[in-house]
Amino acid sequence: LDLLKRIAQENNLELVTKDYEGLGTLVAKIGDQENGQEEKYWQYEVNGVQPNIGAGQYQLHAGERIEWKFAEFALQENNQ
């Protein structure tokens, strides 16, 4: 989440987050795309897998690939 905040600031993008008990901090809006529009929500993946925790709780490690998507919510099974 800290990386996203820095990138948003560097690119002058509005970033809105919201804290949820048990989940942590989730991204609610980036730029002009806000959760709930067209039934889409901000989601992130690390190395192609959606973590089961909010972005604010995820500890990024060197070499990991983070991707943010504004898409319909889809549950992914974590087979790890």
pLDDT, tens digit (0-9, with 9 covering 90-100), for 36-48:
999 999 999 999 9
Residues 42-66 have pLDDT tens digits of: 999 999 999 888 888 889 999 999 9
The secondary element (H helix, E strand) that includes residue 47 is none
pTM, 2 dp: 0.80
Residues 12-24 have pLDDT tens digits of: 999 999 988 877 8
Whether residue 76 has pLDDT greater than 70: no
Phi, psi of 55 (to 5 degrees): -60, -30
The pLDDT value given to residue 80: 44
Whether residue 10 has pLDDT greater than 50: yes
More confident residue, 27 or 76: 27
Instruction: Please give the structure tokens belonging to residue 25.
Output: 């901090």
The one-character DSSP state at 62 is: T
